[in-house]
């Protein structure tokens, strides 16, 4: 039996180029998203309870993603007709307008992103890809089908990535609500003996390799 080969981009890779059909019409990803951060998230199937709660949550947080210049794109291997009908159902029953495009992926597209698992049938997994304005993959999160995602965590991660890019700093656990540093950020460690010695004993340094600061 021929082994099914799974492919997926890794962190720092270019997001695979693909031409897709969406509920907003044809789209080239990541070409049409150039200059913007984006979050592409796949779901197992339309008309399923967990996915419905996720789609509503992404829409409710869309204004916050918009403020970050970040575009949302949903995806599954359901046909675009199914996506349209499901979006209509969400509007009618949840009173929520899904304003972001939803990709009707085929198996080839889903395999490019590692979204199809041979042991899980034809449903796509709950994958999240965050891409930067250059189309580079910056974050990947995979969830099992039975566990819904935290849209707040995805939003937090985008903010953290953008903060890193703008300030060349790292962010601590659960930033900006870290139990030790609060909303402070971590500056790169010293890379020479002199700088390491200068940092010792400073108020904003636990040690030469662990210094932090408040963003202005």
37-42 and 70-76 strand pairing? parallel
- CA dist., res. 136 & res. 45, Å (int): 27
Q: Residue 21 forms beta bridges with which residues?
A: 26, 104
**102-104 and 37-42 beta bridge pairing:** unpaired
Give pTM, 2 decimals: 0.91
Cα–Cα distance list, 117 to 4, 47, 122, 177 (Å): 9, 20, 8, 35
Residue 203 lies in a domain: yes
Look up residue 124 and give its two tokens.
Answer: 């796509």
Establish if 173 belongs to a structural domain: yes
State whether 215 and 120 are in the same domain.
Answer: no
pLDDT at 112: 78
DSSP labels, 87-148:
HHHHHHHH-----S-EEE--HHHHHHTT-B-GGGTTPBPEEEEEE-TTSBEEEEEEE-TTS-
Mean pLDDT for back-to-back runs of 10 residues, the chain (216 residues): 60 94 96 96 91 97 98 92 97 97 85 68 78 97 90 98 97 98 96 93 93 93
Residues 41 and 83 in one domain: yes
* Same-domain pairing of 132 and 188: no
- CATH code where residue 201 lies: 3.30.1020.10
Identify the domain containing residue 183 by its residue range.
Answer: 168-216
Tokens representing 182 are: 């609060």
What integer pLDDT is reported at residue 5 of this predicted model?
54
111 and 177 assigned to the same domain: no
Q: Answer whether residue 141 is part of any domain.
A: yes
Based on the domain organization, do 140 and 179 belong to the same domain? no
Cβ partners under 8 Å of residue 174, min gap 6: 156
* Domain end among 89, 117, 148: 148
In a domain, 155, yes or no: no
User: Considering 148, 180, 199, which residue would you say is the last residue of a domain?
Assistant: 148
Say what the pLDDT of residue 107 is: 74
Do 22 and 53 sit in the same domain of this protein? yes
Contact at 8 Å (CB) between 137 and 9? Answer: yes
In this prediction, residue 2 carries a pLDDT of 39
Could you give the residue numbers annotated as active site? 51
Residues 93 and 172 in one domain: no
Strand order in the sheet with 37-42: 25-29, 18-22, 102-104, 70-76, 37-42, 126-131, 137-143
Is there a single domain that holds both residue 42 and residue 122?
yes
Integer Cα distance of 81 and 96 in angstroms: 19
Number of domains in the chain: 2
Q: Which two tokens stand for residue 158?
A: 């985008």
- Does 143 reside within a domain? yes
pLDDT at 216: 80
Question: Are 144 and 172 contained in the same domain?
Answer: no
Is 157 within the bounds of a domain? no
């Amino acid at each position: 039996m021929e082994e099914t080969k799974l492919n997926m981009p890794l962190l720092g890779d270019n997001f695979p180029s693909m031409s897709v059909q969406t509920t907003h019409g044809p789209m080239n990803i990541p070409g049409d998203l150039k200059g913007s951060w984006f979050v592409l998230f796949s779901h197992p199937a339309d008309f399923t309870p967990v996915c419905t709660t996720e789609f509503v949550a992404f829409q409710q947080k869309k204004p916050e993603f918009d403020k970050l210049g970040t575009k949302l794109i949903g995806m599954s291997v359901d046909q675009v007709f199914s996506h349209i009908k499901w979006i209509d159902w969400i509007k009618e029953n949840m009173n929520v307008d899904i304003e972001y495009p939803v990709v009707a992926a085929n198996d080839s597209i889903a395999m490019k992103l590692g979204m199809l698992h041979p042991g899980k049938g034809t449903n796509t997994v709950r994958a999240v890809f965050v891409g930067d304005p250059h189309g580079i993959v910056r974050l990947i999160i995979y969830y099992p089908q039975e566990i819904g995602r935290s849209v707040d965590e995805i939003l937090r991660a985008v903010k953290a990535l953008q903060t890193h890019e703008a300030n060349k700093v790292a962010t601590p656990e659960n930033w900006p609500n870290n139990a030790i540093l609060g909303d402070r950020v971590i500056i790169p460690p010293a890379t020479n003996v002199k700088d390491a010695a200068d940092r010792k004993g400073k108020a904003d340094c636990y040690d030469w390799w662990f210094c932090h600061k408040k963003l202005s």
